[in-house]
Amino acid sequence: MRILAIDHGTKRMGIAISDELKMIAQPLEFIPADPFDQFLARLKAILREKEVELILVGMPRNMDGSYGPAAQKVREFVAVLNEAIGMPIKTWDERLTSAQAGRLLVAADVRRDKRKEKVDKMAAAILLQSYLDGLSGGDGFSLGPR
């Protein structure tokens, strides 16, 4: 079973998926946020195809750790998603994931017009990798006791 991450956005939702061992996150795609019924249909198809057991949704926080208006939108999104999907959903701190994704794409010399379509799914992958690293106790590469 896998974990699917969603980088919530008003225009696009970035989607990333874990491997079956829950060690590595990879960007999957972005889904347009509107119309919502089409977003939901595509998401449900991915959940079936990839045999997902948990959905992880990025929770935006301010740099001081507080929650702002964007966090409220995500809470509302999670409530609607929970009603429509009926699968475990968890939120995870997404501070700076989009900025980090943008920097990675610039460093990889991805053209500006292509970066826009890739940044959302990359942000979802960064979010998911952060969560997966937490599951494995840190860096994901520990072989012996800490």
The verdict on residue 101 lying in a domain is yes
The verdict on residue 144 lying in a domain is no
Domain with residue 94: its CATH number is 3.30.420.140
- pLDDT computed for residue 98 by the predictor: 63
**pLDDT single digits (tens) 24-71:** 999 999 999 999 999 999 999 999 999 999 999 999 877 777 888 888
The verdict on residue 30 lying in a domain is yes
The verdict on residue 142 lying in a domain is no
C-beta separation of 124 from 7 below 8 A = yes
Comparison of pLDDT for 131 and 144, the residue scoring more:
131
- pLDDT computed for residue 5 by the predictor: 97
Q: How confident is the model at residue 115 (pLDDT cuts 50, 70, 90)?
A: low
Using a pLDDT cut of 90, give the percent of the chain over it.
53
The verdict on residue 65 lying in a domain is yes
The verdict on residue 8 lying in a domain is yes
- pLDDT computed for residue 85 by the predictor: 94
CA neighbours closer than 13 Å in the CB half-sphere of residue 10: 5
* Residue numbers of the domain that contains 47: 2-135
- pLDDT computed for residue 120 by the predictor: 78
- pLDDT computed for residue 93 by the predictor: 84
The verdict on residue 143 lying in a domain is no
Q: DSSP letter string over 71-127?
A: HHHHHHHHHHHHHHH-S-EEEEE-TTHHHHHHHHHHHTT--HHHHHHHHHHHHHHHH
Number of domains in the chain: 1
The verdict on residue 82 lying in a domain is yes
